[in-house]
Amino acid sequence: MSLPHAILTALLEKPSSGLELTRRFDRSIGFFWSATHQQIYRELGKLEQAGLIHALPQPPSRGQKRAYEVLPAGRAELTGWVSRSQDPKPIRDALLLRLRAAAVVGRDGLEPELERHLVSHRRQLAEYTAIEERDFAAVEPSGEDRLRHLVLRAGIGLEIFWIEWLSEALAEFRQPPAGDQVHPG
């Protein structure tokens, strides 16, 4: 249910075409709510049919992208969604499950995957901190920008958590398993 709300949020921030939306998802919203280009275009059609958005009028032109804006019903839907109660989602991460499975079947082959994840999280943290320096370091942000910064800081905190946890996991992998220690004879 959140993809339509992500799209409504993006369109309220700035009326956009489907192509502009997909680019914005790739640069911002997609960091915490991903969607394929096809999903975005499909959802735009559903939102338009539901009377939550409409295409902005434009002169006919070949290759012109339809830009959309949110209607009052769309704003009301988003406002209602923001205030609804929702329980936290449990973590479902295949890497954590694979680590648990390694405790049963052995560690072979998992260490390079942990290293790959560590590199990925370091790269993502660098991207987030660059965004923070670019967008939030110069001036005191407005109320809306403070909320956007809060979302970004959540992403930064999660990346720091994963980097620390993966470093700990790799340190564990580099230790011999407790049952494999050689005892002096």
Question: pLDDT by residue for the chain (185 residues), tens digit each?
Answer: 589 999 999 999 899 998 899 888 888 887 878 888 899 999 999 999 999 999 998 776 666 678 999 999 999 999 999 999 988 888 888 999 999 999 899 888 899 999 999 999 999 999 999 999 988 887 777 778 888 899 999 999 999 999 999 999 999 988 876 665 555 55
Which tokens hold the place of 74?
Answer: 């769309």
Q: At residue 118, what is the residue type?
A: L
Domain borders along the chain are: 2-82, 94-176
Distance, CA of 37 to CA of 42 (rounded, Å): 9
CA 154 from chain centre, in angstroms, equals: 11
> Which pTM value belongs to this model?
0.77
CATH class of 2-82: mainly alpha
Question: DSSP 3-state assignment of 115?
Answer: helix
For the purposes of burial, counting CB atoms within 10 Å of the CB of 64, is it exposed (0-12), middle (13-18) or buried (19 or more)? exposed
Residue 26: the pLDDT is 81
What are 30's two structure tokens? 């997609």
Q: Under a CB-based contact definition with an 8 Å cutoff, are residues 68 and 14 in contact?
A: no
82 has which bridge partners? none
pLDDT at position 36 is 87
User: pLDDT value at position 155?
Assistant: 94
What's the pLDDT score for residue 35?
85
Q: So what's the pLDDT on residue 45? A: 94
String of DSSP letters for 119-184? HHHHHHHHHHHHHHHHHHSSS---HHHHHHHHHHHHHHHHHHHHHHHHHHHHHHHTSPPGGGPPPP
* pLDDT on residue 177: 65
Q: Are 53 and 44 in contact (CB under 8 A)?
A: yes
